[in-house]
Structure 1
Amino acid sequence: MDDQFLQTISDSLSSISTSLPVPEDTRNGISLLILKNDLHLSYLQNLVFLILLRLRGEEIQDHPVVWQLIENRVWIERGINPLETKLRYSIEKLLKAAEKRDIVNETPDALLYKPNPSALVSQVADSAETETVYRPPKISSMAPPTSAPRPRKNRLVSDFIDAELSHAPIEEPSIGSHRSRMSTKERRDQDNRKRYEEDNFIRLPEEKKKKRRAQGLDDFDVDIGGPYNFEQQPSLAEKSRKTNEGSKTATRIGAAFNKRRKTLDNRKKRKNK
């Protein structure tokens, strides 16, 4: 009985194996996909064997099939899946190329390339039929504008009125600094310099002239004759002497001006008489 059963199984397997299609040669394929299929097949076989052990009620703790399942699971999750993710683009590209090759190799339909009779008909209409009198398109008439164009405002007058009558704050240089506002180019250079320093975490060296101008030391030089050079400043006696000389000169000029004005007044009085 057992021999007959085994013979039946072997005959069935032989018939099934012959009915299966011949597998294609995968020697030139992607080895990663071949390994993936083998690992999945091994995992399913061990899983079926584990189910069989559970059905028989046998002990499965520390059984080799359990460790084999764990090993296959680690290979699939930690080895195959990350590599497949990295090679996904190349794999999809190869699959599309294979599909296109299969489509080209197929026998095309002969009627697909049949001549198109409509292409032989001229698409240009007969000129004799289309020659007619030209009629311009009808456009609704429009009356000319009655209102005269408004004169353009004088920009200089508008700017003057805005500056004099507006209550909005006006940007002006600080009192006593003798410095004008920064030009557009200077502001752009300063913004580029600040952006470069913040992006690269570095402080660029500044020119002494620009640094002194930014700190207002140029005006300080004009007022006191140079930064931190207090020794060359005139003494109080020299300042008082210069002040007295200046006041005397101003007095003489004022007296001469008054004398000249009196002379002119006397001449006018004589003419009036």
Structure 2
Amino acid sequence: MTQTVASSLPALLNSLTQSLTSSFEATPKLSTLGTTNGISLLDVKNELLLSYLQNLVFLILLKTRTAKSSSASRTGQRPVTELNDAVVKKLVELRLYLEKGVRPLEDKLRYQIEKVLRAVDDAERQEKAEAAAGAATVKGGKRSEADSNSTSGSDDDNSGDDDDDDDADEAPGPKIADLQYRPNPAAFVRPPGADDDNSSGSGKRSSKDGIYRPPKIAPTSMPTAERRDRAADRRGGKQLRSATMDEFVNDELSAAPVAQPSIGTNIAGRGRHVKTAAERRDEAERQAYEETHFVRLQEGKKERARKEKLAAAAGRMNFGGEEWRGLGEGVDRINRLVKSKDGTGGSGGRTKALLDKSRKRALETTDGPRGSGVASVDIGERYQKRLKVQELGRTSRGKKR
């Protein structure tokens, strides 16, 4: 290992010597650079690389001296060790500047730098091409003058070529302006008419005072089950019956999975009333609010009155745990059909006459279970009459004896 290091040290020292020599030659040129607007990134990069090389050479020098003086005392090695640590720390600092500071900035400016370098190369290439073309035209002009003495027909052609070449020589070459490829800050500024165009395109013009005013749009909301329940409570029993029918259809005829309440939790009124889905939902919301906020919600007067009204409307047709609301509806329907608008005559009178006639009509059917039941009533009356006649006959026979 020691032999390998010893053999590689001369080559390393030669390369470092050459790099330092070239840096010393370039040092006088740095004083001519203008730093009025600050140091450029490339100059900073060169300075950091030069400082990094100097510290690296110094570290190699310390390593070689330490290897030569391996037989020295510990007191002599302590200053060398401290100096070695300081150099390593400086190298780490410079490497951090290069990796985290210079490289990201160089990556961001790489496009602009390459664009400027490409423009410079194009300008140099064009200048060389123009110089070569000018030399060729000069040689062609001399040859045309020599040929003009012998031929007269080619004078016009040569003169035309000379004029074109002179125009090409007089045309100035492209010049690179200062800061031509810098970013354009004006591109980030919104033009003054952009806001007006956007507002006119959307149909809304902003006010002249510059205050933002949101567009006036009529708010709309989709109908929900709660709205339907409230409307049903306000309108009365007819809507309640439709809500009951909807609940029955959803529970019995729907194939969708439904979460059923626990047994007994939906029974109210001592078993005479079953809570609807809306009532269970309101009760669950009330319970969740009370458990979340640790408060007991008091029932207001309006809520209590509404519940009492609903209970009274529903309790009128409840008897014995059964619902009798549909019983009176059939009778009311018959009365509406047989009653005319003015109370007499009209289509209602004719309907009533037909109804009375049908009631007085004698039915000849004897099929009791499948008929209307009138025949069975007549049979009972005849049986009672016959029974009375027989009893009277028995009593009269006894008296005669």
Return the TM-score normalized by structure 2: 0.28
Return the TM-score normalized by structure 1: 0.38
Higher relative contact order (CA 8 A, sep 6+): 1
Instruction: Flag the structure with larger Rg.
Output: 2
